[in-house]
Structure 1
Amino acid sequence: MLIGGPVAAAATPTAQEILAASDAVRNPAKPFALQTQLIEYRNGRESANLSLAVYAKAEASGGQYRNLIRFLKPLRDANKLMLKSGNDLWFYDPASKASIRMSPQQRLLGQAANGDVVTVNLALDYRASLVAEEDTLDGDRQTRKCYKLALAATSPDVTYHRIEMWVDVANNQPVKGRYYSESERLLKTAYYRKYEQQLGSMRPTETVIIDGLDPNWVTVMRYSDWNWRDVPDAWLQRDYLPRFKAE
């Protein structure tokens, strides 16, 4: 019997497995809520600010998230709602009592699009391929050994046509993403930062988004007040939006 023989090296996971693991780092597995603050900076000076309450729940079949988003600040936008169900995105204004279908690509604030503030599992909307293992600088300018993934959209309804994603080899944490339009224009670069223990795992609590053309145009998304919570299916129906009451 051979004792102490060579140990086979662990096989590199597939690109789709790496992407799914990075999704699990960003997204809790059970229904949850958090607050998202978006701050836009132009040439280093704050130019706009928006706060949202996000309620998220994965579909029983398929696993993609459905989201209800309530606007908190500024006060002029308080209690407006946005609903993502499947690939449909709806905006509801209680003043007009009208729900309007929206595009996930449409800008919400600064470089943050509507599709950036909803919870998504990228592995369900993109086909991933492994480009390389390489060192890259994270949002704190620290070197991280990463898998570089190329993500191709599998549906025209998703927020970005193509994404380049860097995922830490050691822990599957998303480090950086580059997001492209259908015309292959670099729209933005995002850095996932300030990892904290939240809802059972280390998760990024800040995303820094830099414009693809103007590096002085920066949008920061901060996530706080994470909590497990029941998200009733009724909240995630377009017909229920006029009856939704904030708790």
Structure 2
Amino acid sequence: MSVHLRRWPVRRGLFALLYVVPLAPFHAHAQAAPDAQQLLAASDAIRTPAQAFVLNAALTEYRSGKQVDANMLSIYTKPDAPGGTFRTLVRFEAPARDVGKLMLKNGDDLWFYDPANQASIRISPDQRLLGQEANGDVVTVNLAHDYTATLLGEEDVTDGDRQLRHCYRLSLAGNTPGLIYHRIEMWLDATNNRPVKARFFSESDRLLKTAFYRRYTMQLGAERPTEFVIIDGLDPNWVTVMRFSGYAWRAIPDAWMQRDYLARFRPE
């Protein structure tokens, strides 16, 4: 029996071929979504060096654009292990009424030492230090150790300099006890994993504050944010700015990170 090709229109032939040759799935060539926990770890490495170091932190509190308070801190940080927690010693340098006071984070314990009465007491990490800054905010943290990250997608957000950035949006859920924030939303620049913006929530899921990471400069071998602008979750006119300077590698004795040593600590 002969086949009359003239009676088989080309478009009908193409339609039939769709059933013979399966088409490749649309997502076959799509780029796989990045791992959220790895993104968070990469942003940690940008925020914080992996070796022992020191720096200075200047905190300034503003109400409706007017400065209402300020202090200056020296921060000594030492990692317990790669990818793990940090131990942090904070010394108050200003104002005069606070000079010499110390705060120590070792494991889950946070201690405050006042040389006036030579006593060290346990304090809460969520207790207010200045403005929106809590005690636990000025100690070094490894978010990838304390939180489990989920990638919510990609979106364009306005950074602290009012520039539009294409970012990964992460949701961080706390996985260790005693954390200041029950949940964090964080936006990372999709081109380099730099932290751009974060929102911090209470256990009741109330927005406590929004932070912008600004002024990236070369510090200890990497471009790191040297300014955090923190806006209160209820009152946008209440702003705290934390500026970091004086980064330096430092061999920090283990003795400095012990509660019993606080009375003997002397900066070198």
**Pair in the same fold by TM > 0.5:** yes
Counterparts of residues 146-225 of structure 1 (less than 5 Å): 146-225=167-246
Deviations 1:96-140 (A, max 9, x none): 111111111111000011111111110000111001111111000
How far did residue 158 of structure 1 move?
Answer: 1.1
User: 2:61·2:131 contact (CA, 8 Å) conserved in 1?
Assistant: yes
Structure 2 counterpart of 1:72: 93
Tell me how large the CA RMSD over aligned residues is. Answer: 1.2
The match for 1:130 among 151, 156, 177 is 151
Q: Which structure has more strand as a fraction of its residues?
A: 1
Q: Does 1:236 align with 2:257?
A: yes
Q: Which structure has more helix as a fraction of its residues?
A: 2
Task: Give identity over the alignment, percent.
Answer: 64
Structure 1 counterpart of 2:102: 81
Residue identity in the other structure for 2:133: A
Alpha-carbon distance in 1 for matches of 2:149, 2:113: 34
Structure 2 counterpart of 1:5: none
1:184 alignment partner, SS class = coil
Deviations 1:11-67 (A, max 9, x none): 432111000000000001110000000000000000000100000010037621110
Alpha-carbon distance in 2 for matches of 1:118, 1:60: 16
Structure 1 counterpart of 2:61: 40
Alpha-carbon distance in 1 for matches of 2:34, 2:131: 36
| TM-score, normalised relative to structure 1 | 0.95
Gaps of 5+ in 2: 1-28
Deviations 1:72-116 (A, max 9, x none): 000110010000011211101111111111111111000011111
Higher RCO structure (Cα 8 Å, ≥6 apart):
1
Structure 1 counterpart of 2:46: 25
Residue identity in the other structure for 2:236: P
Alpha-carbon distance in 2 for matches of 1:148, 1:61: 25
The match for 1:113 among 134, 140, 151 is 134
Work out which of the two has the higher radius of gyration on C-alpha atoms and give 1 or 2: 2
Gaps of 5+ in 1: 1-7
Aligned length: 240
Alpha-carbon distance in 1 for matches of 2:73, 2:147: 26
| TM-score, normalised relative to structure 2 | 0.87
Alpha-carbon distance in 2 for matches of 1:89, 1:114: 9
